[in-house]
Amino acid sequence: VAVSKTHHWEAATIAIVVSSFAFFLLLVTSITTYMLIYKGGLDKARNACFLSFFGARCNIWANQFCRYLLLCCYNPCEFQILDLVMNDEARQTAKRIMKLNEGKGPDPGGVCWLGDSEFTFWHNLREDMKPFHPNNFNAGFGGSRVCDIARNIDIICFDFDPDTVILHAAGNDFDFAFKTLTIEALKVRLMDLFRAIDSHPSVKRIGYFLSSRRPTYTDEKWDFMIRVHAFMIEAIEESELKDRVKVFDLRYMVHPLDDFYHDRSHLNDQGHGRKAKELLRLLQETWPPA
């Protein structure tokens, strides 16, 4: 009887291990498939229902899952897979920037649009912003947190000696922080980033761009972002950056759903065009053409 029970326990253990491994493989395969579809299919009608249902949240879950996996199973030197992913995204962005001007990169003295997917999906940014400045380059890379931007700022921005840097950041910090990130900690990161930008010798003007709420934002996320913005505006006003950093606030804008891709999180070309008109007006009022 004892031997029989032992065999039953061994069989049950093997079944649990095999089932868990199969579930793990299925989960990884599903997440990888979704990330590939999401990256290349935002504007593809064939993926409309799928993307509309899951939206950007599945990408966030995928990255969080990978981070949890590494933290639980193998974490040498606090290794983070998300850091590697974002570093690669930054390198790809740097390569795209270098293709400008027949492979010479943007001329010095341009406008660096630095940030996350708010800029990544703004395909017509350079044309839309020409009335403000003839030399714009898009240094946005999707999913980036403040630390990712700071870590890669040389290759996507400073190496091209911009005259003006306009920053949009921090939304992804909330998404990837598992609700452990405090507003004070994020404020410190942003202020350090602004000071790094201000210290670069070519930079004469700095913009802090605040975008509008997206349909997929929860009340919790939007409340967090509003409080971050308020803390940041106050911190800038009370610091040596008061006369250096200008705030461009478009949070009042309400975009119709037709302005978004199927994920209801990222603006499409029409939505960016609508945003560009408002932003252009604010830029020209704050920094009138010479």
Q: What is the pTM of this model?
A: 0.81
| Distance of alpha carbon 128 from alpha carbon 277, whole angstroms | 8
Q: How far is CA 106 from the centre of its chain?
A: 22
* Shared-domain flag, residues 165 and 88: yes
* Shared-domain flag, residues 38 and 150: no
* Shared-domain flag, residues 73 and 88: no
* Shared-domain flag, residues 50 and 6: yes
Total domain count, the chain: 2
* Sequence-separated contacts (24+) of 59-63 with Cβ below 8 Å: 59/34, 59/35, 59/143, 60/175, 60/176, 61/31, 62/31, 62/32, 62/34, 62/35, 63/143, 63/176
* Per-residue confidence (pLDDT) for residue 75, from 0 to 100: 45
* Per-residue confidence (pLDDT) for residue 180, from 0 to 100: 77
Look-up of token digits 């870590």: 151
pLDDT reading at 235 higher than 70? yes
* Shared-domain flag, residues 46 and 186: no
| Distance of alpha carbon 139 from alpha carbon 110, whole angstroms | 12
pLDDT tens profile 157-215: 999 999 999 999 999 898 887 677 899 999 999 999 999 999 999 999 999 999 999 98
* Per-residue confidence (pLDDT) for residue 77, from 0 to 100: 43
* Shared-domain flag, residues 44 and 138: no
Query: DSSP letter at 283?
Result: H
pLDDT tens profile 81-132: 778 888 999 999 999 999 999 999 999 999 999 999 999 999 999 999 999 9
* Shared-domain flag, residues 53 and 88: no
pLDDT band at 225 (very low <50, low <70, confident <90, very high): very high
pLDDT band at 231 (very low <50, low <70, confident <90, very high): very high
* Shared-domain flag, residues 64 and 106: no
pLDDT reading at 53 higher than 60? no
pLDDT tens profile 7-52: 667 777 777 878 877 877 776 666 666 555 555 555 544 455 555 5
Strand partners, 247: 208
Q: Following CA atoms 68, 218, 277, 104 in sequence, which dihedral angle do they give, to the nearest 10 degrees?
A: 0
**Nearest to 41, CA basis, from 28, 29, 54:** 54
Query: DSSP letter at 142?
Result: T
Domain-terminating residue out of 45, 79, 113: 79
* Per-residue confidence (pLDDT) for residue 11, from 0 to 100: 73
* Per-residue confidence (pLDDT) for residue 4, from 0 to 100: 60
Residue 261 vs residue 58, higher pLDDT: 261
* Shared-domain flag, residues 228 and 263: yes
Question: How confident is the prediction for the chain on average, in pLDDT?
Answer: 85
The arrangement of strands across the sheet holding 136-140 comes to 136-140, 111-115, 164-168, 205-210, 245-249
* Per-residue confidence (pLDDT) for residue 193, from 0 to 100: 98
**Nearest to 262, CA basis, from 253, 271, 274:** 271
Q: Tell me if 259 sits within 8 A of 270, measured CB to CB.
A: yes
* Per-residue confidence (pLDDT) for residue 45, from 0 to 100: 45
* Shared-domain flag, residues 23 and 87: no
Residue 73 domain boundaries = 2-79
Alpha helical stretches, state H, 55-204: 57-73, 81-98, 100-103, 117-120, 125-128, 146-156, 171-176, 183-199
CATH number at residue 89: 3.40.50.1110
Domain-terminating residue out of 55, 79, 103: 79
* Shared-domain flag, residues 244 and 256: yes
pLDDT tens profile 54-79: 555 665 566 566 656 544 554 444 55
Domain-terminating residue out of 79, 107, 123: 79
| DSSP 3-state percent helix, strand, coil across the chain (nearest 5) | 60, 10, 30
Look-up of token digits 């978004």: 260
* Shared-domain flag, residues 93 and 35: no
Residue 12 vs residue 283, higher pLDDT: 283
